[in-house]
Amino acid sequence: MKPVYAHIAVVGTGAMGRGIAQIAAQAGSTVLLHDQQAAAMAAAQQSICEQWDKLVEKGRMQTDTVAACKARLKTAASLQDLASCDLVVEAIVERLDVKAALFAELEGIVGADAVLASNTSSLSITAIAARLKRPQRVAGYHFFNPVPVMKVVEVIAGLKTDPAICTALSDYARQMGHTPVTAQDTPGFIVNHAGRGYGTEALRIAGEGVADYATIDRILRDQAGFKLGPFELMDLTALDVSHPVMESIYHQYYEEPRYRPSVITAQRLAGGMLGRKTGEGFYRYERNVAQVAPELPTPQVGELPPVWVSPRAARRAELLQLLKDLGAKIETGQSPSMTALTLVAPLGFDVTTVAVVERLDPARTVGIDLLIEDAATKRRVLATNPATRADMRDAAHALFARDGKAVSVIRDSGGFVTQRVVAHIVNIAADICQQRICTPTDLETAVVLGLGYPLGPLAMGNRYGPTNVLEVLFNLQTVYGDPRYRPSPWLRRRGAIGLSLLHEED
Protein backbone atom coordinates (compact mmCIF):
# COMPACT_ATOMS: atom_id res chain seq x y z
CA MET A 1 0.00 0.00 0.00
CA LYS A 2 1.29 3.42 -0.94
CA PRO A 3 1.94 5.51 2.19
CA VAL A 4 -0.14 8.65 2.69
CA TYR A 5 3.12 10.60 2.94
CA ALA A 6 5.81 9.12 0.71
CA HIS A 7 8.65 11.43 1.69
CA ILE A 8 8.83 12.66 5.28
CA ALA A 9 11.33 14.26 7.62
CA VAL A 10 11.78 13.83 11.35
CA VAL A 11 13.51 16.73 13.07
CA GLY A 12 15.00 15.64 16.38
CA THR A 13 16.84 12.39 17.06
CA GLY A 14 15.90 11.66 20.64
CA ALA A 15 13.93 8.54 21.56
CA MET A 16 10.69 9.99 20.19
CA GLY A 17 12.23 11.08 16.90
CA ARG A 18 13.94 7.72 16.43
CA GLY A 19 10.73 5.86 17.12
CA ILE A 20 8.68 7.93 14.68
CA ALA A 21 11.33 7.52 11.99
CA GLN A 22 11.40 3.76 12.53
CA ILE A 23 7.66 3.15 12.12
CA ALA A 24 7.42 5.63 9.21
CA ALA A 25 10.12 3.76 7.28
CA GLN A 26 8.38 0.47 8.07
CA ALA A 27 5.19 1.98 6.60
CA GLY A 28 7.00 2.53 3.30
CA SER A 29 7.96 6.19 3.54
CA THR A 30 11.37 7.59 2.68
CA VAL A 31 12.51 9.18 5.93
CA LEU A 32 15.05 11.97 6.40
CA LEU A 33 16.48 12.32 9.89
CA HIS A 34 17.71 15.78 10.84
CA ASP A 35 19.49 17.04 13.90
CA GLN A 36 21.73 20.07 14.43
CA GLN A 37 24.48 17.69 15.51
CA ALA A 38 25.78 15.40 12.76
CA ALA A 39 26.98 12.85 15.30
CA ALA A 40 23.48 12.62 16.79
CA MET A 41 21.99 11.92 13.35
CA ALA A 42 24.46 9.16 12.63
CA ALA A 43 23.93 7.62 16.06
CA ALA A 44 20.15 7.75 15.61
CA GLN A 45 20.33 6.07 12.21
CA GLN A 46 22.55 3.35 13.62
CA SER A 47 20.27 2.84 16.61
CA ILE A 48 17.20 2.40 14.40
CA CYS A 49 19.02 -0.07 12.17
CA GLU A 50 20.09 -2.05 15.23
CA GLN A 51 16.47 -2.18 16.38
CA TRP A 52 15.49 -3.67 13.02
CA ASP A 53 18.29 -6.21 13.25
CA LYS A 54 16.99 -7.32 16.65
CA LEU A 55 13.50 -7.74 15.19
CA VAL A 56 14.98 -10.01 12.51
CA GLU A 57 16.73 -12.07 15.22
CA LYS A 58 13.41 -12.45 17.04
CA GLY A 59 11.65 -13.48 13.85
CA ARG A 60 9.37 -10.44 13.87
CA MET A 61 10.68 -8.94 10.60
CA GLN A 62 12.08 -10.47 7.43
CA THR A 63 15.64 -9.74 6.29
CA ASP A 64 14.56 -8.31 2.93
CA THR A 65 11.95 -6.10 4.62
CA VAL A 66 14.59 -4.68 6.96
CA ALA A 67 16.96 -4.08 4.06
CA ALA A 68 14.26 -2.05 2.31
CA CYS A 69 13.58 -0.06 5.50
CA LYS A 70 17.27 0.72 5.92
CA ALA A 71 17.44 1.93 2.32
CA ARG A 72 14.56 4.35 3.02
CA LEU A 73 16.17 5.79 6.17
CA LYS A 74 18.55 8.67 5.38
CA THR A 75 20.05 11.68 7.13
CA ALA A 76 19.76 15.33 6.15
CA ALA A 77 22.67 17.65 6.91
CA SER A 78 20.57 20.82 6.87
CA LEU A 79 16.97 21.94 6.96
CA GLN A 80 17.32 22.93 3.32
CA ASP A 81 17.59 19.22 2.48
CA LEU A 82 13.97 18.80 3.63
CA ALA A 83 12.57 20.90 0.79
CA SER A 84 11.00 17.96 -1.05
CA CYS A 85 9.27 16.40 1.97
CA ASP A 86 5.49 16.31 2.07
CA LEU A 87 5.43 15.90 5.87
CA VAL A 88 7.83 17.17 8.53
CA VAL A 89 7.41 15.84 12.07
CA GLU A 90 9.10 17.91 14.75
CA ALA A 91 10.28 16.07 17.87
CA ILE A 92 12.62 18.55 19.55
CA VAL A 93 12.81 20.21 22.96
CA GLU A 94 9.44 20.98 24.61
CA ARG A 95 9.72 24.78 24.34
CA LEU A 96 7.17 26.89 22.51
CA ASP A 97 9.67 29.49 21.31
CA VAL A 98 12.05 26.88 19.87
CA LYS A 99 9.30 24.94 18.11
CA ALA A 100 7.70 28.09 16.68
CA ALA A 101 11.06 29.30 15.39
CA LEU A 102 11.73 25.94 13.70
CA PHE A 103 8.35 25.94 11.97
CA ALA A 104 8.84 29.52 10.80
CA GLU A 105 12.14 28.50 9.21
CA LEU A 106 10.65 25.35 7.68
CA GLU A 107 7.79 27.33 6.12
CA GLY A 108 10.26 29.06 3.85
CA ILE A 109 11.85 25.76 2.79
CA VAL A 110 9.16 23.12 2.20
CA GLY A 111 6.53 23.19 -0.52
CA ALA A 112 3.21 24.97 -0.20
CA ASP A 113 1.32 21.69 0.34
CA ALA A 114 3.71 20.17 2.87
CA VAL A 115 2.32 19.41 6.32
CA LEU A 116 4.13 20.54 9.46
CA ALA A 117 3.39 18.37 12.50
CA SER A 118 4.54 18.77 16.09
CA ASN A 119 5.05 15.89 18.49
CA THR A 120 4.47 18.22 21.45
CA SER A 121 2.87 16.60 24.47
CA SER A 122 1.17 19.66 25.92
CA LEU A 123 2.02 22.89 24.05
CA SER A 124 -0.62 24.72 22.05
CA ILE A 125 -0.65 23.86 18.34
CA THR A 126 -2.37 27.17 17.68
CA ALA A 127 0.44 29.04 19.42
CA ILE A 128 3.14 27.09 17.54
CA ALA A 129 1.49 27.98 14.22
CA ALA A 130 0.63 31.58 15.08
CA ARG A 131 3.68 33.14 13.35
CA LEU A 132 3.20 31.24 10.09
CA LYS A 133 1.68 32.51 6.89
CA ARG A 134 -0.15 29.21 6.44
CA PRO A 135 -1.12 28.01 9.92
CA GLN A 136 -3.77 25.76 8.38
CA ARG A 137 -1.11 23.16 7.50
CA VAL A 138 0.13 22.75 11.09
CA ALA A 139 -1.20 19.99 13.33
CA GLY A 140 -0.22 18.08 16.44
CA TYR A 141 1.00 14.51 16.01
CA HIS A 142 1.71 13.27 19.51
CA PHE A 143 3.25 9.81 19.81
CA PHE A 144 4.16 8.10 23.07
CA ASN A 145 7.45 6.58 24.11
CA PRO A 146 8.54 3.95 23.15
CA VAL A 147 6.85 4.73 19.85
CA PRO A 148 6.97 1.22 18.28
CA VAL A 149 5.31 -0.24 21.39
CA MET A 150 2.83 2.49 22.40
CA LYS A 151 0.22 2.11 19.70
CA VAL A 152 -1.75 5.33 20.13
CA VAL A 153 -1.15 8.74 18.54
CA GLU A 154 -3.03 11.95 19.27
CA VAL A 155 -3.91 14.02 16.20
CA ILE A 156 -4.55 17.60 17.25
CA ALA A 157 -6.14 20.39 15.25
CA GLY A 158 -5.16 23.98 16.02
CA LEU A 159 -7.79 26.68 15.61
CA LYS A 160 -6.82 27.17 11.97
CA THR A 161 -5.79 23.62 11.02
CA ASP A 162 -7.36 22.28 7.82
CA PRO A 163 -9.52 19.28 8.89
CA ALA A 164 -8.33 17.34 5.84
CA ILE A 165 -4.80 17.34 7.28
CA CYS A 166 -5.97 15.65 10.48
CA THR A 167 -7.80 13.05 8.39
CA ALA A 168 -4.64 12.35 6.38
CA LEU A 169 -2.47 12.16 9.50
CA SER A 170 -4.94 9.71 11.05
CA ASP A 171 -4.83 7.53 7.93
CA TYR A 172 -1.03 7.65 8.00
CA ALA A 173 -0.99 6.62 11.67
CA ARG A 174 -3.02 3.53 10.78
CA GLN A 175 -0.53 2.68 8.03
CA MET A 176 2.19 2.84 10.68
CA GLY A 177 0.27 0.32 12.79
CA HIS A 178 -0.99 2.87 15.29
CA THR A 179 -4.44 3.90 16.50
CA PRO A 180 -5.19 7.60 15.98
CA VAL A 181 -7.40 9.62 18.30
CA THR A 182 -8.39 13.18 17.49
CA ALA A 183 -8.36 16.00 20.01
CA GLN A 184 -9.01 19.70 20.22
CA ASP A 185 -6.07 21.98 20.94
CA THR A 186 -6.28 22.09 24.74
CA PRO A 187 -3.64 21.68 27.48
CA GLY A 188 -2.52 18.07 27.73
CA PHE A 189 -4.75 17.03 24.80
CA ILE A 190 -6.32 13.68 25.85
CA VAL A 191 -3.83 11.36 27.55
CA ASN A 192 -1.84 13.85 29.63
CA HIS A 193 -5.08 15.62 30.56
CA ALA A 194 -6.91 12.44 31.57
CA GLY A 195 -3.83 11.27 33.46
CA ARG A 196 -3.99 14.17 35.92
CA GLY A 197 -6.35 12.31 38.24
CA TYR A 198 -4.18 9.31 39.12
CA GLY A 199 -0.97 10.86 40.39
CA THR A 200 -2.24 14.15 41.79
CA GLU A 201 -4.93 12.53 43.96
CA ALA A 202 -2.49 9.89 45.22
CA LEU A 203 -0.12 12.71 46.17
CA ARG A 204 -2.90 14.44 48.11
CA ILE A 205 -3.64 11.20 49.96
CA ALA A 206 0.04 10.79 50.84
CA GLY A 207 0.27 14.47 51.78
CA GLU A 208 -2.55 14.00 54.29
CA GLY A 209 -0.64 11.17 55.96
CA VAL A 210 -3.39 8.67 55.15
CA ALA A 211 -0.88 5.99 54.12
CA ASP A 212 2.70 5.67 52.92
CA TYR A 213 3.68 5.47 49.26
CA ALA A 214 4.02 1.68 49.16
CA THR A 215 0.63 1.14 50.78
CA ILE A 216 -1.10 3.49 48.33
CA ASP A 217 0.58 1.69 45.44
CA ARG A 218 -0.48 -1.72 46.77
CA ILE A 219 -4.08 -0.60 47.21
CA LEU A 220 -4.42 0.82 43.71
CA ARG A 221 -2.80 -2.23 42.14
CA ASP A 222 -4.63 -4.88 44.14
CA GLN A 223 -7.99 -3.24 44.74
CA ALA A 224 -8.49 -1.19 41.57
CA GLY A 225 -6.39 -3.23 39.13
CA PHE A 226 -3.85 -0.65 37.95
CA LYS A 227 -0.66 -2.19 36.55
CA LEU A 228 1.58 0.21 38.44
CA GLY A 229 0.88 2.22 41.55
CA PRO A 230 1.09 6.01 41.10
CA PHE A 231 4.41 6.32 42.91
CA GLU A 232 5.92 3.41 41.01
CA LEU A 233 4.74 5.12 37.83
CA MET A 234 6.21 8.50 38.76
CA ASP A 235 9.52 6.83 39.59
CA LEU A 236 9.45 5.15 36.19
CA THR A 237 8.65 8.29 34.17
CA ALA A 238 10.92 10.45 36.41
CA LEU A 239 9.86 13.60 38.22
CA ASP A 240 11.81 15.89 35.90
CA VAL A 241 9.25 14.79 33.28
CA SER A 242 6.05 14.30 35.28
CA HIS A 243 6.17 17.28 37.67
CA PRO A 244 6.63 19.93 34.94
CA VAL A 245 3.66 18.41 33.08
CA MET A 246 1.58 18.70 36.27
CA GLU A 247 2.55 22.33 36.63
CA SER A 248 2.11 23.12 32.93
CA ILE A 249 -1.44 21.80 32.69
CA TYR A 250 -2.40 23.38 36.03
CA HIS A 251 -1.19 26.82 34.93
CA GLN A 252 -2.53 26.52 31.39
CA TYR A 253 -5.97 25.91 32.88
CA TYR A 254 -5.54 29.00 35.06
CA GLU A 255 -5.08 27.14 38.34
CA GLU A 256 -8.02 24.77 37.95
CA PRO A 257 -8.18 22.92 41.33
CA ARG A 258 -8.74 19.52 39.67
CA TYR A 259 -5.16 19.62 38.33
CA ARG A 260 -3.40 21.07 41.37
CA PRO A 261 0.21 19.75 41.67
CA SER A 262 1.84 18.73 44.93
CA VAL A 263 4.64 20.18 47.00
CA ILE A 264 5.84 16.59 47.48
CA THR A 265 6.97 16.22 43.87
CA ALA A 266 8.29 19.80 43.73
CA GLN A 267 10.52 19.13 46.72
CA ARG A 268 11.78 15.80 45.41
CA LEU A 269 12.50 17.32 42.02
CA ALA A 270 14.53 20.07 43.69
CA GLY A 271 16.43 17.44 45.67
CA GLY A 272 17.27 15.36 42.61
CA MET A 273 15.21 12.36 43.78
CA LEU A 274 13.74 11.77 40.35
CA GLY A 275 13.08 8.05 40.39
CA ARG A 276 14.72 4.99 38.85
CA LYS A 277 17.16 6.93 36.71
CA THR A 278 18.76 8.58 39.76
CA GLY A 279 18.52 5.48 41.95
CA GLU A 280 16.12 7.13 44.37
CA GLY A 281 12.64 8.58 44.15
CA PHE A 282 9.62 7.50 46.14
CA TYR A 283 11.55 4.24 46.42
CA ARG A 284 15.27 3.51 46.64
CA TYR A 285 16.65 1.34 43.83
CA GLU A 286 19.43 -1.23 43.88
CA ARG A 287 20.32 -2.69 40.48
CA ASN A 288 17.13 -1.02 39.22
CA VAL A 289 14.96 -2.95 41.70
CA ALA A 290 12.79 -0.99 44.13
CA GLN A 291 13.57 -1.64 47.79
CA VAL A 292 10.15 -1.95 49.43
CA ALA A 293 9.65 -2.72 53.10
CA PRO A 294 7.47 -5.80 53.68
CA GLU A 295 3.92 -5.35 54.89
CA LEU A 296 3.28 -5.66 58.61
CA PRO A 297 2.07 -9.12 59.65
CA THR A 298 -1.58 -9.72 60.44
CA PRO A 299 -2.20 -9.10 64.16
CA GLN A 300 -2.74 -12.14 66.35
CA VAL A 301 -6.07 -11.78 68.15
CA GLY A 302 -7.22 -14.35 70.69
CA GLU A 303 -10.99 -13.85 70.59
CA LEU A 304 -12.74 -11.66 68.07
CA PRO A 305 -15.53 -9.36 69.25
CA PRO A 306 -19.02 -9.53 67.75
CA VAL A 307 -19.54 -7.35 64.69
CA TRP A 308 -22.32 -4.84 64.00
CA VAL A 309 -22.75 -3.36 60.51
CA SER A 310 -24.20 0.09 59.88
CA PRO A 311 -27.54 -0.03 58.03
CA ARG A 312 -26.18 2.69 55.73
CA ALA A 313 -23.13 0.67 54.67
CA ALA A 314 -22.43 0.39 50.93
CA ARG A 315 -22.97 -3.17 49.64
CA ARG A 316 -24.39 -4.08 53.06
CA ALA A 317 -25.83 -7.45 51.99
CA GLU A 318 -22.50 -8.39 50.42
CA LEU A 319 -20.62 -7.28 53.54
CA LEU A 320 -22.88 -9.33 55.82
CA GLN A 321 -22.35 -12.41 53.64
CA LEU A 322 -18.60 -11.84 53.69
CA LEU A 323 -18.61 -11.59 57.49
CA LYS A 324 -20.63 -14.81 57.67
CA ASP A 325 -18.13 -16.55 55.37
CA LEU A 326 -15.28 -15.32 57.56
CA GLY A 327 -16.93 -16.80 60.66
CA ALA A 328 -17.76 -13.53 62.40
CA LYS A 329 -20.42 -13.34 65.11
CA ILE A 330 -22.85 -10.79 63.67
CA GLU A 331 -25.09 -8.60 65.79
CA THR A 332 -28.47 -7.74 64.28
CA GLY A 333 -29.82 -5.18 66.74
CA GLN A 334 -30.69 -1.60 65.83
CA SER A 335 -27.49 -0.46 67.56
CA PRO A 336 -24.23 -2.17 68.49
CA SER A 337 -23.64 -3.67 71.91
CA MET A 338 -21.02 -2.16 74.18
CA THR A 339 -18.43 -4.76 73.08
CA ALA A 340 -19.11 -4.87 69.34
CA LEU A 341 -16.73 -3.94 66.57
CA THR A 342 -18.73 -1.41 64.55
CA LEU A 343 -18.29 -1.47 60.78
CA VAL A 344 -19.20 1.33 58.40
CA ALA A 345 -18.76 1.39 54.63
CA PRO A 346 -19.15 4.98 53.42
CA LEU A 347 -18.84 6.39 49.92
CA GLY A 348 -16.83 9.61 50.00
CA PHE A 349 -17.26 10.35 53.70
CA ASP A 350 -14.56 9.67 56.27
CA VAL A 351 -15.08 7.29 59.18
CA THR A 352 -15.14 10.16 61.67
CA THR A 353 -18.04 11.90 59.94
CA VAL A 354 -20.06 8.67 59.70
CA ALA A 355 -19.47 7.84 63.36
CA VAL A 356 -20.68 11.30 64.42
CA VAL A 357 -23.71 11.39 62.09
CA GLU A 358 -24.80 7.86 62.99
CA ARG A 359 -24.06 8.39 66.71
CA LEU A 360 -21.66 5.48 66.89
CA ASP A 361 -18.85 5.06 69.40
CA PRO A 362 -15.79 6.20 67.39
CA ALA A 363 -13.48 4.15 69.61
CA ARG A 364 -15.03 0.94 68.24
CA THR A 365 -15.74 2.13 64.67
CA VAL A 366 -13.73 0.96 61.64
CA GLY A 367 -14.47 1.64 57.98
CA ILE A 368 -14.16 -0.70 54.99
CA ASP A 369 -14.00 0.40 51.34
CA LEU A 370 -16.68 -1.37 49.30
CA LEU A 371 -16.91 0.80 46.21
CA ILE A 372 -15.71 -2.30 44.30
CA GLU A 373 -17.24 -5.70 44.97
CA ASP A 374 -15.02 -7.74 47.27
CA ALA A 375 -14.82 -10.71 44.90
CA ALA A 376 -13.24 -8.51 42.22
CA THR A 377 -10.34 -7.33 44.40
CA LYS A 378 -7.13 -8.82 45.73
CA ARG A 379 -6.99 -6.57 48.77
CA ARG A 380 -9.36 -5.23 51.41
CA VAL A 381 -8.87 -1.73 52.77
CA LEU A 382 -9.87 -0.70 56.27
CA ALA A 383 -9.71 2.79 57.79
CA THR A 384 -9.57 3.88 61.39
CA ASN A 385 -10.58 7.24 62.80
CA PRO A 386 -8.44 9.19 65.29
CA ALA A 387 -10.26 7.60 68.26
CA THR A 388 -10.33 3.95 67.10
CA ARG A 389 -8.92 1.67 69.77
CA ALA A 390 -5.93 -0.47 68.82
CA ASP A 391 -7.71 -3.67 69.85
CA MET A 392 -10.65 -2.89 67.55
CA ARG A 393 -8.32 -2.00 64.68
CA ASP A 394 -6.40 -5.26 65.14
CA ALA A 395 -9.59 -7.28 65.47
CA ALA A 396 -10.93 -5.88 62.18
CA HIS A 397 -7.60 -6.54 60.46
CA ALA A 398 -7.42 -10.13 61.72
CA LEU A 399 -11.04 -10.83 60.82
CA PHE A 400 -10.81 -9.63 57.23
CA ALA A 401 -7.51 -11.46 56.69
CA ARG A 402 -8.95 -14.82 57.79
CA ASP A 403 -9.36 -16.15 54.24
CA GLY A 404 -5.84 -15.12 53.19
CA LYS A 405 -6.75 -11.97 51.27
CA ALA A 406 -4.36 -9.05 51.80
CA VAL A 407 -5.55 -6.27 54.10
CA SER A 408 -4.33 -2.67 54.34
CA VAL A 409 -5.25 -0.48 57.29
CA ILE A 410 -5.05 3.25 56.62
CA ARG A 411 -5.75 6.39 58.61
CA ASP A 412 -9.03 8.22 58.18
CA SER A 413 -9.69 9.69 54.76
CA GLY A 414 -12.76 10.84 52.93
CA GLY A 415 -13.16 8.18 50.24
CA PHE A 416 -10.36 5.90 51.50
CA VAL A 417 -7.81 5.59 48.62
CA THR A 418 -9.48 3.83 45.70
CA GLN A 419 -12.71 5.83 45.91
CA ARG A 420 -10.84 9.11 45.80
CA VAL A 421 -8.56 8.18 42.93
CA VAL A 422 -11.20 6.43 40.80
CA ALA A 423 -13.75 9.21 41.28
CA HIS A 424 -11.17 11.84 40.38
CA ILE A 425 -10.15 9.96 37.23
CA VAL A 426 -13.78 9.53 36.14
CA ASN A 427 -14.63 13.16 36.91
CA ILE A 428 -11.74 14.58 34.86
CA ALA A 429 -12.61 12.27 31.96
CA ALA A 430 -16.23 13.36 32.11
CA ASP A 431 -15.16 16.99 31.98
CA ILE A 432 -12.94 16.30 28.95
CA CYS A 433 -16.11 15.10 27.21
CA GLN A 434 -18.06 18.08 28.56
CA GLN A 435 -15.51 20.41 26.96
CA ARG A 436 -15.80 18.46 23.66
CA ILE A 437 -12.04 17.94 23.62
CA CYS A 438 -12.63 14.52 22.08
CA THR A 439 -15.32 11.89 21.74
CA PRO A 440 -15.97 9.42 24.57
CA THR A 441 -14.78 6.62 22.29
CA ASP A 442 -11.47 8.32 21.50
CA LEU A 443 -11.03 9.15 25.19
CA GLU A 444 -11.40 5.51 26.19
CA THR A 445 -9.04 4.34 23.44
CA ALA A 446 -6.41 6.96 24.27
CA VAL A 447 -6.38 6.22 28.00
CA VAL A 448 -6.32 2.43 27.71
CA LEU A 449 -3.54 2.47 25.08
CA GLY A 450 -1.66 5.51 26.36
CA LEU A 451 -1.89 5.01 30.12
CA GLY A 452 -2.52 1.27 30.40
CA TYR A 453 -5.48 1.65 32.78
CA PRO A 454 -7.48 -1.56 33.41
CA LEU A 455 -10.55 0.19 31.97
CA GLY A 456 -11.15 3.45 30.18
CA PRO A 457 -12.24 6.10 32.72
CA LEU A 458 -15.81 6.30 31.45
CA ALA A 459 -16.14 2.50 31.41
CA MET A 460 -14.68 2.58 34.93
CA GLY A 461 -17.41 5.01 35.97
CA ASN A 462 -20.07 2.80 34.41
CA ARG A 463 -18.72 -0.32 36.12
CA TYR A 464 -18.70 1.15 39.62
CA GLY A 465 -21.87 3.17 39.02
CA PRO A 466 -22.15 6.84 37.99
CA THR A 467 -24.40 7.50 40.98
CA ASN A 468 -21.82 5.95 43.33
CA VAL A 469 -19.05 8.06 41.78
CA LEU A 470 -21.24 11.14 42.16
CA GLU A 471 -21.90 10.30 45.80
CA VAL A 472 -18.17 9.94 46.42
CA LEU A 473 -17.48 13.33 44.81
CA PHE A 474 -20.29 15.19 46.58
CA ASN A 475 -19.21 13.77 49.93
CA LEU A 476 -15.51 14.47 49.29
CA GLN A 477 -16.47 18.06 48.55
CA THR A 478 -18.30 18.18 51.88
CA VAL A 479 -15.42 16.64 53.83
CA TYR A 480 -12.65 18.76 52.28
CA GLY A 481 -14.50 21.89 51.16
CA ASP A 482 -12.41 21.83 47.99
CA PRO A 483 -13.83 22.69 44.54
CA ARG A 484 -11.39 20.10 43.20
CA TYR A 485 -14.09 17.49 43.82
CA ARG A 486 -17.05 19.28 42.24
CA PRO A 487 -18.70 16.89 39.77
CA SER A 488 -18.53 17.64 36.07
CA PRO A 489 -21.92 18.48 34.52
CA TRP A 490 -21.36 15.58 32.09
CA LEU A 491 -21.13 13.14 35.00
CA ARG A 492 -23.86 14.77 37.11
CA ARG A 493 -26.46 14.77 34.34
CA ARG A 494 -25.79 11.22 33.20
CA GLY A 495 -25.74 9.95 36.76
CA ALA A 496 -29.05 11.71 37.47
CA ILE A 497 -30.90 10.08 34.57
CA GLY A 498 -29.13 6.70 34.59
CA LEU A 499 -27.40 7.21 31.24
CA SER A 500 -24.16 5.47 30.28
CA LEU A 501 -21.10 7.70 30.53
CA LEU A 502 -20.11 6.37 27.10
CA HIS A 503 -23.26 7.75 25.49
CA GLU A 504 -22.30 10.16 22.71
CA GLU A 505 -24.56 13.11 21.99
CA ASP A 506 -25.37 14.23 18.46
Active site residues: 121, 142, 154, 192
Q: Which residues contact 472 (CB under 8 A, 6 or more apart)?
A: 347, 348, 371, 415, 419, 420, 422, 423
CA dist., res. 492 & res. 484, Å (int): 15
Amino acid at 351: V
Length of the chain: 506
Alpha carbon distance 3, 337 (integer Å): 75
Three-class secondary structure of residue 420 per DSSP: helix
CA distance 191 to 344: 36
Q: Strand 87-90 and strand 115-118: pairing?
A: parallel
> 273-308 burial string, b = 16+ CB within 10 Å, else e?
bbbbbbebbbbebeeeebeeeeeeebbeeeebbebb
Residues 6+ apart with CB under 8 A from 106: 11, 79, 82, 88, 116
Q: Which of 466, 455, 470 is nearest to 500 (CA)?
A: 466
With both helix axes pointing from N to C terminus, report the angle between 466-480 and 457-464 in degrees, rounded to the nearest 10. 90
- Strands (DSSP E) contained in 204-300 are 284-286, 289-291
